[in-house]
Amino acid sequence: MNFALILFLLTIGTGAVWALDRFVLSKSRGDGEPAPAWIEYPVSFFPVLLAVFLLRSFVAEPFKIPSSSMRPTLEVGDFILVNKFAYGLRLPIVERKIVPIGDPRRGDVVVFRYPVNPSQDFIKRVVGLPGDVVTYKDKALAINGKPLPRRADGTYSWLEGLRFETAERFVEQADAGGEAHDYTTAASPTAPAVYPQNVRSFPGREQCDYNPEGFTCKVPTGHYFVMGDNRDFSDDSRYWGFVPDDHVRGRAFFIWFNWDDISGFAFRRVGSGIR
């Protein structure tokens, strides 16, 4: 279901009724005569729908985290806000950039339209920019031949379905345009760096070389290489390829709700920023 399109159509429909009543129908009614219900309700809802549509399209949009691919950074059930103007203003629905403001940086957590199915939204971390050579060997990332600094940070455990999973936790550091950007990742020492049988055919596949230790990919112009922080539980660019710039919807920056966090009176996540 394309919620953005439905919201757009509702806003246009109620706006048309508001304009018709404002400039035509209201003049034919007597003083104090109430508007019929088919006019009153759309006119009442139009300002609310318009405000929601503008905020959602150009300022911030809410999303819910559905999977474990971004643990430990984001957990299942987190409700997050995505900055819609961080990388430029885009036309609603068609997502065409009309005012460029900036570009994703290494380490940014971004929401984007899934290249395999653009009607579906994904969230991952940008690890490779256009022109970068991304190498993932023995669970360690290197960009343009330079290994990303990382340090061990204990272990991380979570419930995956009916299984209790435990992985090693690391603090990794990306070069975000000359600034150091630290974030947390998780990896299982027993899992391979990539599952070759899951790698699909995708545009630019010839730019990648897969081997038993991992892979090396050169990111094409106008595209990004993304990975989940939970490296061994993430379906990402390793398997379906690069994210075109026009698929990027915004940068995730804030956790505003998590029911388990609130109901357990933990308040560890709600109100925190996303690194």
Which tokens is 221 given?
Answer: 């112009």
pTM for the complete prediction? 0.91
Q: What is the pLDDT of residue 241?
A: 97
pLDDT in tens, 40-99: 999 999 999 999 999 999 999 999 999 999 999 999 999 999 999 999 988 888 888 888
Q: Output the 3-class SS for the chain.
A: CCHHHHHHHHHHHHHHHHHHHHHHHHHHCCCCCCCCHHHHHHHHHHHHHHHHHHHHHHCEEEEECCCCCCCCCCCCCCEEEEECCCCEEECCCCCCEEEECCCCCCCCEEEEECCCCCCCEEEEEEEECCCCEEEEECCEEEECCEECCEEEEEEEEEEECCEEEEEEEEEEEEEECCEEEEEEEEECCCCCCCCHHHCCCCCCHHHEEEECCEEEEECCCCEEEEECCEHHHCCCHHHHCCEEHHHEEEEEEEEEECHHHHHCCCCCCCCCECC
pLDDT at 266 over 80: no
pLDDT at 1 over 70: no
The percent of residues above 90 in pLDDT, for the chain, comes to: 79
Q: Please indicate whether residue 27 is annotated as part of the active site.
A: no
pLDDT at 2 over 80: no
Compute the distance between CA of residue 222 and CA of residue 242 in angstroms, rounded to an integer: 9
**Which member of 69, 139, 218, 237 is catalytic?**
69
**Which member of 57, 84, 124, 218 is catalytic?**
124
pLDDT in tens, 121-165: 999 999 999 999 999 999 999 999 999 999 999 999 999 988 999
Query: Strands 208-211 and 146-147: what pairing?
Result: unpaired
Q: Please indicate whether residue 263 is annotated as part of the active site.
A: no
Read off the amino acid at residue 75.
E
Over residues 13-21, the mean pLDDT reads: 95
